Structure formats: C-alpha cells, structure tokens
DNA sequence: AACGCGGGGAG
DNA sequence: CTCCCAGCGTT
C-alpha cells in the first residue's frame, strides 16, 4: 500500500482546486514559481475566512497593488477601505505594517525561513509555515483547521483541541515530504475543504480512506473533538445617521485598536449590556429632528449587537463634531464595516443598493 | 490557556 | 438556528 503522502499528492495532481493565488502542480512542473507576495497576501486574507469570500478581495488587491512595494506605498486608510467588508480588520493594519517592513528592511523580498516570517506582524505559526512551504519549498508542518480535521480523523485523535495541537503538528510533520512540501500542504487543505468536510464527509471517494482510523473504528464526523464554546451576550445601543441638505452623511473614525479599529462609523452611543426602556436619543451628536427609522442586528465573534437607528435631515455641515461628510453616492468608497452599512441602509434604504459587488 | 477579533456560507 | 472557515495578538 502506498503511503498517505504519495496518495494525497497523486490525488492533488488531478483534483486540486483552481485558485487565483495558486500555481498548479503542472504549471509548477513547467517552471512557474510562486510569487511570495501573492502567497502572503492570500494567506493573510484566508485567516478564518472562506476561499469564496477571499477571491474578489484578492483580485482587487493585486490589481491595485501588484507588488509589496506598491502596497507599502499606499496609506493605511487606502488599505482599510479596500479591506472593508472582509472582517478582522487588525489583519489589514498588520498587512500594511508587514508590507512596510518587507519593503524597507528586506529590500522587498519576503524572508524564507519560518522564524523570520513569524517575527513579521500578522504572521503566526500557520501563516509562517504556509508561506515557507508553498512559496519557498521548506518542508515544515502546515497546520490549519483543515489539517486538524484530516489528521485527527486519520489517527482517531481523541483529546480535544487545542490540547491535541502538538500531536497533530508532529503527525503532520512526519507526513510532510521534502520534495514538494507546498503541494502536499495544499493537498491536505483541499482534501479537508472538498472531501474530509466537517459534516457528511465524502469518505467513499476519499483517496486515503484505507488509512483512516476514524472511518475504520468510529465515525469521522466526531473528529476533531473541540472544547465547548460559551454563548454570546447581547449588547444594545443607538446609531445616528445625519444627512445634510446636500445629501451627505456624517462619518467618524473609530479608534485605531480594538473592535473595528481604524474603520469608519456613523456616531453611536456606547454599546452596553441589555437594559430596559432607554431610548438613548438624547445621545445624538447634533441638535436636530431625530426620528427613529428602525433597528438592526449584527453578530460579532463574541457578542450580538442591536442598534436602534435614528435619522435627521437637513443637518448643517458646520456642526462641530469631529468627523467628515460624505455624499451618499460615495459611501461605498469609505472604510465602512458591515454593521455600519446596515445602520446607514436602515436610514437610507438605497445607499448601497446600486453598487455592484467586487469581482 | 483564554479571550478579543468579522463576516458569510453551508447544512 | 449552529457551525466554522488556509488564525493572530494579547493577557
């Protein structure tokens, strides 16, 4: 029987996904070399984010900024505006920091060893291993959510994550070949994404089903074991959409760190634990004829937010608050996270309606 | 080790 | 609805 590694690499040769940042095994054979900048950019975007969500952002970024030097030359605001909607905005801030360091201290060339990569902002264990492996052919264990699932099933590893992480890493390291480690890492991830899925895995067509202890002795769907997660609290607040006579909306910048750091927002109250019967309308940023126009709900990673939305028309643009005014038709160019687009859309239903999605 | 940190797609 | 996705940084 062929080893697991051989089976997976053969499977990958014919069943790999076609992705904008990927060099196929065949193209690789014919001499194409991966661009570390594109590998890095894709890996940062893919952190906790699905391939389909990343594709349009990756294409847009590489069109605007084809090299790490061009990204370093951009402003953080430009980067945040292009990142808006993708989530986890500290990634965008670290992306810009990392581009600056590579451009200034490394002469525009990414380092190839794991330790130097991990020292860069936004690059941790997984991403360092992925870049070293895929872009530089370094045989290091690449462990993401897909690999955790495939490995725990192959070896029926019962301790819960994250306790099982060292065992998984060791097993992955032993499977990783010295020859084309990047293709093997991507083979494992493609297997996890397309066959060894979290629910209803397609074990019948899996190239390594003969090697799978979970399939042999248990149920693959029971792996990996994970520690229980806690429930999300609810927070409430109010958002204020001020509209000027010239059809402009008032925006502010959020503080640089923490939730939605550095992104744009309409003025809001603080977001507090749920209380009863408090309209909070007195917290409006301007004097004006504020009218309730509805409410929105938005789910963040660790809490659910319910915002009452208020709108005022004919607000003077000379009102003194710290921020800026943007014409409604230009809102799409701002660094607005999804929750703020929802709030604005509650007050101005067609604010984002005619905008095509990125492609 | 636990927590803060977005958004969306699949089942 | 729930789960989880090519995780990282801080505490």
State residue A285's pLDDT score. Answer: 83
Cα distance between residue A130 and residue A124, in whole Å:
10
State residue A270's pLDDT score. Answer: 93
State residue A276's pLDDT score. Answer: 53
Cα distance between residue A81 and residue A83, in whole Å:
5
Residue A318 neighbours by CB under 8 Å, 6+ apart: none
Residue A238 neighbours by CB under 8 Å, 6+ apart: A268, A269, A279, A280, A281, A283, A307, A308, A309, A310
Torsions phi, psi of A344, nearest 5? -65, -40
Q: Is A43 a catalytic residue?
A: yes
CA of A287 to C1' of C4 (A): 44
Comma-separated ranges of CATH 3.90.79.10 domains in chain A: 234-347
Top-level class of domain A4-222? mainly alpha
CA of A225 to C1' of C3 (A): 13
For chain A residues 68-97, those near strand C by a CB cutoff of 7 A are 88, 90, 94
Cα distance between residue A85 and residue A337, in whole Å:
5
Question: Residue A304 CB closer than 7 angstroms to strand C?
Answer: no
State residue A356's pLDDT score. Answer: 45
CA of A346 to C1' of C5 (A): 29
Comma-separated ranges of CATH 1.10.340.30 domains in chain A: 4-222
The CATH number given to A234-347 is 3.90.79.10
Element containing residue A272 per DSSP (H, E):
strand A272-273
> Looking at the C1' of nucleotide C7, which residue has the nearest alpha carbon?
A47
* Other CB atoms within 10 Å distance of the CB of residue A34: 18
Question: Residue A152 CB closer than 7 angstroms to strand C?
Answer: no
Question: Residue A302 CB closer than 7 angstroms to strand C?
Answer: no
State residue A315's pLDDT score. Answer: 92
3-class SS at A240? strand
State residue A280's pLDDT score. Answer: 72
Mean pLDDT of each 10-residue bin along chain A, 359 residues long: 89 97 96 97 98 98 98 98 98 98 98 98 98 98 98 96 94 97 98 97 97 97 91 94 96 96 96 71 83 96 96 87 94 97 96 57
């Amino acid at each position: 029987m062929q080893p697991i590694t051989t089976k997976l690499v053969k499977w990958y040769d014919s069943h790999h996904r076609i992705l904008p940042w990927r060099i196929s095994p065949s193209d690789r054979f014919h001499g194409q070399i991966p661009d570390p900048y594109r590998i890095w950019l894709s890996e940062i975007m893919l952190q906790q984010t699905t391939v389909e969500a990343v594709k349009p952002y990756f294409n847009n970024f590489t069109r605007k900024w084809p090299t790490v030097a061009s990204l370093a030359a951009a402003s953080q605001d430009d980067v945040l505006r292009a990142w808006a909607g993708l989530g986890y905005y500290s990634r965008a801030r670290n992306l810009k920091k990392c581009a600056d360091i590579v451009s200034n201290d490394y002469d525009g060339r990414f380092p190839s060893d794991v330790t130097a990569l991990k020292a860069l902002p936004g690059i941790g264990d997984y991403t360092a291993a992925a870049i070293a492996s895929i872009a530089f052919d370094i045989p290091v264990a690449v462990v993401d959510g897909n690999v955790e699932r495939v490995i725990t099933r192959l070896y029926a590893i019962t301790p819960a994550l994250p306790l099982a992480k060292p065992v998984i890493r060791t097993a992955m390291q032993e499977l990783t070949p010295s020859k084309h480690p990047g293709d093997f890492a991507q083979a494992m991830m493609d297997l996890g994404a397309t066959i060894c899925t979290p629910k209803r895995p397609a074990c019948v067509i899996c190239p390594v089903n003969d090697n799978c202890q979970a399939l042999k002795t248990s149920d693959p769907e029971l792996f990996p074991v994970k520690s229980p997660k806690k429930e999300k609290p609810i927070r409430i607040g109010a958002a204020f959409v001020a509209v000027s006579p010239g059809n402009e909306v008032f925006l502010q910048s959020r503080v640089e760190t923490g939730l939605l750091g550095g992104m744009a927002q309409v003025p809001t109250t603080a977001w507090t634990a749920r209380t009863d019967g408090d309209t909070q309308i007195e917290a409006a940023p301007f004097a004006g004829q504020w009218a309730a126009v509805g409410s929105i709900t938005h789910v963040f990673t660790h809490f659910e937010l319910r915002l009452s939305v208020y709108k005022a028309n004919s607000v003077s643009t000379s009102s003194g608050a710290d921020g800026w005014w943007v014409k409604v038709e230009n809102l799409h160019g701002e660094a607005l996270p999804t929750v703020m687009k929802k709030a604005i859309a509650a007050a101005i239903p067609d604010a984002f309606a005619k905008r095509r999605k990125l492609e």
